[in-house]
Structure 1
Amino acid sequence: MSHSNAPAPTPLTDSTLLSVRDLTKTFPGRRRLGRPASRVRAVDGVAFDLAAGETLGLVGESGCGKSTTGRMLVRLLEPTAGTVAFDNQDITHLSQRQLRPTRRHLQMIFQDPYASLNPRQTVSRILSEPLLIQGKSARAARHRAAELLELVGLNPEHLDRHPYQFSGGQAQRIGIARALATGPRLIVADEPVSALDVSVQAQIVNLLERLQHELGLALLFIAHDLSVVKRICDRVAVMYLGRIVEIGDKHAVYDAPAHPYTQALLSAVPLPDPAAERRRERIVLLGDPPSPAAPPSGCSFHPRCPKAQDICRNQRPALAAVGREGRQAACHFPTDH
């Protein structure tokens, strides 16, 4: 029986920028006394396409494999199996030297801005470094660094400051500016607002939304805040224990979720209408997510699923079309609204 989590085959279009198939990442587990080390499958057969200029949200509980997926896409982590194709070129096994021409078009924004910025370097150096690597002169790189600061809403006069002299929101703007330095076509944003105050989160989301539209960027937006994802994304992919369990247009997924896990996640999102909030039934999942080192047989969600039956315990469901909106869910008993 195939364990592929790939969507039903569809022909690539001219607008497809990123194509991911059967992406898998396995880490060595802890060695136990007298036993060989177990293997932890953090990402298990993930597949999706991302069009030029599109924003795809990748959501799920902590530890579901979202960040690991994002890091494999930009080759900060090497995939164990599967393929990543960028602009119709398979980049999965390219050497770092072969990857360099593509690297400028494929950038990443990290969760913790202070940890991702070198504290010993000035902002000018941080923003100039990728440009110098691309062959620009020091003068041209500094001029571009000033433009980048202005683009993300910071004062170009602050080029010679260090990261610790900025607030968290300002430091994240610098991280965004660095990601934009080489003129990328795709940015992987790994929980870019989760480390920030709520008031600052909205400002950063507004900035990303503006830049995405102005520059025509494709964006993979990794997050656990479903309200933020609904606002900024065109489509949503829901991950559970290393696999995508539902993917589709955000309106289809949010208004009529097909997978029981998606339904549970969305039932916890606060509603702006207090009366509607009181009437809504909250779906409480039993227990904690299983360990990736010892995943359940069959559907990995079945130990917590209120719909689980014998087939769920014995047979892993593949992503399949649900409804007419191009949505897919990996469930034996999806809710077809």
Structure 2
Amino acid sequence: MKPTYSKSSRSSAGPEETGPAPDSRTAGGDGASPLLSVRGLVKTFPGRRVLGRAAAPVRAVDGVDLELAAGETLGLVGESGCGKSTTGRMLVRLLEPTAGAVEFEGRDITHLSQRELRPVRRHLQIIFQDPHASLNPRQTVARIISEPLLVQGATVRAARDRAAELLDLVGLGSEHLDRHPYRFSGGQAQRIGIARALATGPRLIVADEPVSALDVSVQAQVVNLMERLGDELGLSFLFIAHDLSVVKRVCDRVAVMYLGRIVEIGEKRELYDRPAHPYTRALLSAVPLPDPAAERRRERILLLGDPPSPAAPPSGCGFHPRCPKAQAVCRTERPLLQVVGSGARTAACHFPETG
């Protein structure tokens, strides 16, 4: 049974008006400069050697464009292996992009050295999927949360005091400061991970599937905590997730990713109510409905086959081998993102749904 998530009073940020050359970088807001701007982001991994032969390189991310406004939560969804986590890690420079540019607060951070990047990292943090795997088992909670502050030059005492404040903020207490991660449940460990991400006062947090490794009983608590912190602290989130019901609750806009590319992006309500891309429609048809009668009546869209390998992507539209609407042009021409419907979203499809 799915948990329920309470949505705070924060209003959804609508997208900017779309100009004559629309793309997936359209951010919500009032036309102000975006907090984060991504252009043509590419990540290629070398292929593994098999029997002495080098395999084909894997293009995990293939030309992603995104914009994220201050105070906005952008959801990034798609099947496993589509490049979501790789994209998130490049945004915080845990992975180096092969090509493209990442601008944060109007500054290109793509090729900054580690020394130049250090002051930027105060405002750009990440929450990992597996809380226990991301916490050093040899360190105490105080050390784990304090470390980002110590790197930035804080004193040991000031860092410990700040760690105690952050534990209170995420629903734990200062009595946990001298304990080690193995003494905490998954939900508590993720709260510690959130506290560590908040330590330096970030403006943007990449949340890489922050609740998928948790028990269902605590997922709602952690999601509601993150939403409350976003409202109170004015944070922006890139929220990477598989669970589309969670994304619908917490995100202002949603980007759908397939085979390393953005295939649809737009304001949450319109994208969920009127998906334009066949892949988005298939994803949404798999989300369980709380009404059993409605669940029995609705049509399920079953995709044939598995996603193609990013080491050998198909020509034209990457989705055409599994698409029920594919035609000859889909096999030869790669579709570009274009405005669909009222202009509040864009989709990369030769035959998008416009109703």
Task: Please classify the TM superposition score into its range, dividing by the shorter chain length.
Answer: over 0.9
Higher mean displacement: 135-144 or 259-268: 135-144
Aligned pair 1:59/2:99, yes or no? no
- Root mean square deviation of aligned Cα: 1.6
Match of 2:56 in 1: 38
Q: Distance in 1 between matches of 2:193 and 2:40?
A: 30
User: Is the Cα–Cα contact under 8 Å of residues 191 and 221 in structure 1 kept in the other structure?
Assistant: yes
Amino acid in structure 1 at the alignment position of 2:318: S
Structure 1: runs of 5+ lacking an equivalent: none
Q: TM-score, normalised by structure 1?
A: 0.96
Alignment counterpart, residue 236 of structure 2, candidates 193, 218, 221: 218
| Residues 126-135 or 248-257, more deviating | 126-135
2:77–2:242: 8 Å Cα contact kept in structure 1?
Answer: yes
Cα gap change, 1:272/1:132 in structure 2, threshold over 3 Å: closer, same or farther? same
Q: Which moved more, 1:125-134 or 1:144-153?
A: 125-134
- In structure 1, the residue matched to 2:205 is 187
1:208 equivalent in structure 2: 226
The code of the aligned residue for 2:248 comes to K
Q: CA deviation at 1:308?
A: 0.1
Determine the structure 2 residue equivalent to 1:280: 298
Residue 153 of structure 2 corresponds to residue 138 of structure 1: no
Q: Which has the larger displacement, 268-277 or 174-183?
A: 268-277
**Counterpart secondary structure, 1:335:** coil
Question: Is 1:174 matched up with 2:192?
Answer: yes
Quote the offset at 1:36 in angstroms. Answer: 3.9
Change (3 A) 1:241 1:86: same
In the other structure, the counterpart of 1:25 is 43
**Residue 298 in structure 1 maps to residue 316 in structure 2:** yes
Change in Cα spacing, 1:9 to 1:293, as seen in structure 2 (3 Å) is: closer
Q: Tell me if structure 2 keeps the 8 A contact 1:6–1:47.
A: no
Q: Which residue of 1 aligns with 2:276?
A: 258
TM-score (normalised: structure 2): 0.91
Pair 1:9–1:217, CA change in 2 (3 A): closer
Which of these residues, 224, 230, 233, is aligned with residue 248 of structure 2?
230
Q: Deviations over 1:189-229 (max 9, x none)?
A: 00000000011100000000000100000000000100000
TM-superposed deviation, 1:188:
0.1
For residues 291 and 125 of structure 2, the distance between their equivalents in structure 1, rounded to whole angstroms, comes to 38
Tell me which amino acid in the other structure corresponds to 2:252: D
When the two structures are aligned, how many residues end up with a matched partner? 333
Letter in 2 for 1:66: K
Shift, 1:325, TM fit: 4.2
Secondary structure of the 2:132 match is: helix
- SS of the residue aligned with 1:22? strand
| AA in 1 matched with 2:23 | P
Displacement of 1:8: 6.9
Does structure 1 residue 161 correspond to structure 2 residue 179? yes
Give SS of 1:52's match: coil
CA contact (8 A) 2:79 2:242 kept: yes
Q: Deviations over 1:255-302 (max 9, x none)?
A: 000000000000000111111111100000000000000000000000
Please say if residues 60 and 66 of structure 1, whose CA atoms lie closer than 8 Å, have aligned partners that are also in contact: yes
Q: Which runs of 5+ in 2 are unaligned?
A: 1-20
Of 66, 86, 99, 1:81 maps to 99
Distance of 2:125 and 2:205 partners within structure 1 = 5
Map of 1:300-315 to 2, 5 A cutoff? 300-315=318-333
Identity of aligned residues (%): 80
Q: Aligned in 2, Cα 1:34/1:102: closer, same or farther, shift over 3 Å?
A: closer
Amino acid paired to 1:236: V
